[in-house]
């Protein structure tokens, strides 16, 4: 919980700064790169969390990693985080920034898992239905998972709608187990 408060505070600060400087789109691209780099490298996470590595060494690494790829404002922000001892939160701060960006743009990320790839008609229908329900533009992230056998799983925020065949078979199995147990008495 504490990490989330730190992330929210710092993400809001950089968000407000880039909006004021009219560089929101560039900062979004920068933060997306930072989040994917940070979460994609266990070594980077361990390095940033290490109390043994001095802040100036961490700043040098940040400059080398991101210096030529991101804007000066975002780079300076990362360097300030490091000087304040908050460098281990870079990943979650970048994620929170991206959440603020999507909220600002009226975007909602929705995750659709199916057993086979969906065609454009189904994709459009899901986007339209969820968009109408939420009143937001939908960013659909699709995943193919053959283990669900058929149907789909739709995740919106913290809500999960599981209409997969695998889920229904498991529910049926549980019901049979309960009924079998009751008949034994």
State whether 89 and 20 are in the same domain.
Answer: yes
C-alpha closest to that of 78 among 62, 91, 92: 62
Question: Which residues, in sequence order, are CB contacts of 112 under 8 Å at separation 6+?
Answer: 118, 126, 140, 141, 142, 143, 152, 153, 154, 155
Give me the percent of the chain exceeding a pLDDT of 90.
84
Residue 185 has pLDDT above 60, yes or no: no
Q: Same structural domain for residues 115 and 161?
A: yes
Tell me the C-alpha distance between 182 and 130, whole Å: 41
Whether 166 contacts 147, CB under 8 Å = yes
Last residue within a domain, chosen from 55, 79, 103 = 103
Tell me: do 9 and 85 sit in the same domain. Answer: yes
Both 90 and 113 in a single domain?
Answer: no
Q: What is the pLDDT of residue 49?
A: 94
pTM of the model: 0.76
- Whether residues 95 and 62 share a domain: the answer is yes
> Could you tell me if 114 and 32 lie in one domain?
no
Instruction: Give 1's pLDDT tier (boundaries 50, 70, 90).
Output: very low
Mark which of 54, 72, 103 sits at the end of a domain: 103
In the chain, the number of structural domains is: 2
Which of 48, 75, 103 delimits the end of a domain?
103
Q: Which one has a higher pLDDT value, 3 or 113? A: 113
Q: Do 13 and 96 belong together in one domain? A: yes
CATH code of the domain covering residue 40: 1.10.520.20
Q: Is the pLDDT of residue 3 over 80?
A: no
Partnered with residue 143 across adjacent β-strands are 113
Taking the C-alpha atoms of residue 155 and residue 133, their distance in angstroms, rounded to an integer, is 14
Is the same domain home to 96 and 7? yes
Q: 75 and 61: one domain?
A: yes
Which structural domain range is residue 146 located in?
Answer: 106-184
> What six digits make up the tokens of 172?
């049926």
Kindly list the strands in the beta sheet with 107-114, ordered across the sheet, starting from the edge strand earlier in the chain. 137-144, 107-114, 152-156, 159-162
Q: 98 and 138 share a domain? A: no
SS3 152: strand
Distance CA 8, CA 92 (A): 9
Angle of helix 90-105 relative to helix 24-39, nearest 10 degrees, comes to 140
Same domain, 120 and 85: no
Point out which residues pair with 141 in neighbouring strands.
111
């Amino acid at each position: 919980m504490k990490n989330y408060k730190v992330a929210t505070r710092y993400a809001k600060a950089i968000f407000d700064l880039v909006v004021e400087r009219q560089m929101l789109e560039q900062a979004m691209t920068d933060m997306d790169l930072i989040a994917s780099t940070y979460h994609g490298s266990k070594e980077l996470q361990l390095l940033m969390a290490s109390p043994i590595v001095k802040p100036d060494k961490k700043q040098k690494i940040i400059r080398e990693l991101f210096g030529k790829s991101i804007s000066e404002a975002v780079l300076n922000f990362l360097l300030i985080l490091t000087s304040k001892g908050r460098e281990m939160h870079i990943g979650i701060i970048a994620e929170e920034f991206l959440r603020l960006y999507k909220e600002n743009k009226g975007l909602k990320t929705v995750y659709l898992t199916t057993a086979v790839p969906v065609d454009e008609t189904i994709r459009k229908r899901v986007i339209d239905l969820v968009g109408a329900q939420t009143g937001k533009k939908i960013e659909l992230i699709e995943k193919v998972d053959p283990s669900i056998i058929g149907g789909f799983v739709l995740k919106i925020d913290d809500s999960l709608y599981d209409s997969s065949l695998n889920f229904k078979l498991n529910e049926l199995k549980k019901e049979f187990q309960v009924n079998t147990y009751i008949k034994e008495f």
